[in-house]
Amino acid sequence: MHTANIRLTEAKALPLPQYLPYVIYCTLIRYNREGLSDETLIDLYKALIKPRIIEEKMLVLLRQGKLAKWFSGIGQEAISVGTAMALHRDEYILPMHRNLGVFTVRGIPLNRLFSQFAGKPGGFTKGRDRSFHMGTQEFHIVGMISHLGPQMGVADGIALGNLLKGNPHVTAVFTGDGATSEGDFHESINVAAVWDLPVIFIIENNGYGLSTPSSEQFRCKQFIDKAIGYGMEGVQVDGNNILEVYNTVNQLASSMREKPRPVLLECMTFRMRGHEEASGTKYVPQELFEMWGKKDPIRNYEEFLLSEGVIDEDFVKMVRAAIKEEIELGLEISSSEKDVEPNDERELADMYAPSSKETIRPVSSTKTEKRFLDAITDAMKQAMERHPNLVIMGQDIAEYGGAFKATQGFVEQFGKMRVRNTPLCESAIVGTGLGLSINNCKSIVEMQFADFVTCGFNQIVNNLAKTHYRWGQHADVVIRMPTGAAVGAGPFHSQSTEAWFFHVPGLKIVYPAFPDDAKGLLAAAIEDPNPVMYFEHKALYRSISGDVHDDYFTTEIGKAKVVREGNDLTIVTYGLGVHWAMEILDKHKHISADLIDLRTLLPWDEKTVLDSVKRTGKVLMMHEDTMTGGIGGEITARIAEKCFQYLDAAPVRIAALDTAVPMSNALEWNFLPKHRFEQALLSLSAY
């Protein structure tokens, strides 16, 4: 038995709130090699020192100005290395800033890592994202984003995908003690507990979230106490003890493969450098550095192996020399690469995963009259039959059939594994959708109301939308958005939220107005490997019907529909606005107008719109959303820019008032633009 002793009296000089978490784990390191061969001990040693030597080189390059930023994991290597060594190579790991050891254990060539750090083409993000903000299917690693918490929901999705496939795999996801204050942490571990997902949630408790000590982050004594509240196991280990981490993760993973369930693993450790190098360490008491310095995971383990006769000094020198040689070779290869050369066409193309432009045609010509809602249900049902890897998730969607009964009967046909009631945690569920996609599954996420998407906004705009651009991973997720007013539902169930996402490259937005498009566009969204926001107006669910092909078919995303043709002017709209326009045109039959239903808002069909405006010379853009910041502003600006010489009048925008959506009938219809559209149509027609 090898120990590294530290007297408790050394710790007592610290302020009490910061002192308590470190009492036990600052006293000694006890190595238990029972059941571990010399070969395994040596493999762990080689894996443990490699990230340390790389970091020491990176810090030199940082001081030389050859590296822009660095988040140090010095002192925490045993957690990353022990975890990665214990898991199977085909099991996903979701690391964070200080987990270099995960990448090195998985065998990523160092030149590729160095190119990633330097923003070179040989990295994993083509220079588009920094350090460990990357992923790789080849090595089963999914990197973080700066918001820290969302990767835990992604881990849930990967684990769910394994359950669906019958794969006895474990997923490990890292987080820091600071990030456990985020909602994503609580949502994700709750979902994992409720669904018995085999995820190891690893908390690296180093006592600080950047500069804020744990005493200002949470009031519970330790993180494993939080596991109790979610009905899951909590295990605490000495994060500086490589054998304790390795053995614990090994045992947990073996058990979880047999009996899927989540476990919260708290690893007690300390960050020996700043949050990142520029932040420094002045906010940390010097006594902590002295205490934890004596618990260095590498020096202690090396001394243990030397004392056990497993290695000798010559072996240590040989291993270190070999790693340094590998580093220099990797740097040489990386530095010889040319810098990334900007290319607009490539940048725009890489925002989206390639998707087929060919539509799926119905096998027969048989049609049945269907309501708008029934067409949506039909598309989902047939897609579930077509894609065994498709999962539908949402609040109350299983036995209850959803708030609007769009999935009624689904759980009886497809089972609760694929039709999943979710807790009220939109962010974790959107993240789960991304995790499913990473594990080669498809998902539909139902927002009970489009308004509730705010609770999952970060996952959509920063994770789903950017993942393919960052590291080439598609995000095969459809988010159903019951939207719109004219139903007396007030300010929290009636908002038009499509413009919030219109500004986000990487997303696609569809918004059908007719039952046949509702089915075809939803099917196309499900087939598309990109994240699609699918807006469905609640007022149309049971109010309109139309003939719809009984067979499965798709409608091209990005293509508008000319609903009516005319010569006097062009009307551009979508959703409920299409039906308002048809009603008012029927009332004023002397007006001859092109009526364009956009159907897809991102990307919108610029050619169809501009061709019509060039021919008619007048355009009226109408949407149900508020005026300021609405989609109509972008479309009319593009028309003014590209059709100026063809215009006989200035483009006209009609929209809702710039207020929240009121509930009462009189106030709501005053808010909505229908009556103002009629006035504008008559005025523009007469101009």
Q: Which residues, other chains included, contact 430 with Cβ-Cβ below 8 Å and sequence gap of 6+?
A: 153, 445, 456, 459, 460, 463, 464, 477, 479
Of 549, 573, 601, which residue is a domain's last? Answer: 549
Q: How many CB atoms lie within 10 A of CB 526?
A: 25
**Mean of pLDDT values over 383-407:** 97
pTM of the model: 0.94
The pair of three-digit structure tokens given for residue 134, joined into one six-digit string:
């990357």
Can you give the pLDDT at residue 270? 84
Can you give the CATH number for the domain in which 606 is found? 3.40.50.920
Same domain, 537 and 635: no
* Residues 387, 171: Cα–Cα separation, whole Å: 24
DSSP count for the chain of H helices, then E strands: 26, 23
* Domain count along the chain: 3
* Residues 526, 355: Cα–Cα separation, whole Å: 11
Per-residue pLDDT band at 27 (split at 50, 70, 90): low
**Mean of pLDDT values over 191-206:** 96
Identify residue 290 by its one-letter amino acid code: E
Q: In this structure, is residue 114 part of a structural domain?
A: yes
Q: Which residues, other chains included, contact 251 with Cβ-Cβ below 8 Å and sequence gap of 6+?
A: none
**Mean of pLDDT values over 21-34:** 72
Active-site pick, 493, 549, 579, 623: 493
Q: In this structure, is residue 597 part of a structural domain?
A: yes
Same domain, 92 and 208: yes
Q: In this structure, is residue 616 part of a structural domain?
A: yes
Same domain, 17 and 154: yes
Q: Give yes or no for residue 14 having a pLDDT over 60.
A: no
Same domain, 376 and 500: yes
Angle at 624 between CA 647 and CA 630, to 5 degrees: 65
Same domain, 196 and 258: yes
Per-residue pLDDT band at 272 (split at 50, 70, 90): confident
| Mean pLDDT across the chain | 93
Report in angstroms the alpha-carbon separations of 73 from 116, 176, 370: 17, 12, 59
Can you give the pLDDT at residue 286? 79
Q: In this structure, is residue 3 part of a structural domain?
A: no
Of 519, 549, 579, which residue is a domain's last? Answer: 549
Report in angstroms the alpha-carbon separations of 235 from 207, 213, 219, 264, 593: 17, 22, 19, 6, 69
Can you give the CATH number for the domain in which 389 is found? 3.40.50.970
Same domain, 33 and 152: yes
Same domain, 541 and 565: no
Can you give the pLDDT at residue 26? 57
Question: Catalytic residue at 147?
Answer: no
pLDDT in tens, 84-99: 999 999 999 999 988 9
| Cα 604 from chain centre | 24
Q: Which residues, other chains included, contact 525 with Cβ-Cβ below 8 Å and sequence gap of 6+?
A: 478, 508, 510, 532, 534, 557
Q: In this structure, is residue 105 part of a structural domain?
A: yes
pLDDT in tens, 355-375: 988 999 999 999 999 999 999
The pair of three-digit structure tokens given for residue 292, joined into one six-digit string:
């934890």
Same domain, 409 and 514: yes
Per-residue pLDDT band at 24 (split at 50, 70, 90): low
**Mean of pLDDT values over 528-554:** 98
Per-residue pLDDT band at 25 (split at 50, 70, 90): low
Same domain, 522 and 572: no
Which residues sit opposite 172 in a β-bridge? Answer: 93, 200
Range of the domain at 619: 561-686
Q: In this structure, is residue 231 part of a structural domain?
A: yes
Q: Give yes or no for residue 662 having a pLDDT over 60.
A: yes
Same domain, 236 and 322: yes
Of 523, 549, 575, which residue is a domain's last? Answer: 549
Q: In this structure, is residue 72 part of a structural domain?
A: yes
pLDDT in tens, 150-172: 999 999 999 999 999 999 999 99
Per-residue pLDDT band at 353 (split at 50, 70, 90): very high
Same domain, 272 and 129: yes
Q: In this structure, is residue 518 part of a structural domain?
A: yes
Same domain, 265 and 378: no
Q: Give yes or no for residue 1 having a pLDDT over 70.
A: no
* Residues 287, 643: Cα–Cα separation, whole Å: 70
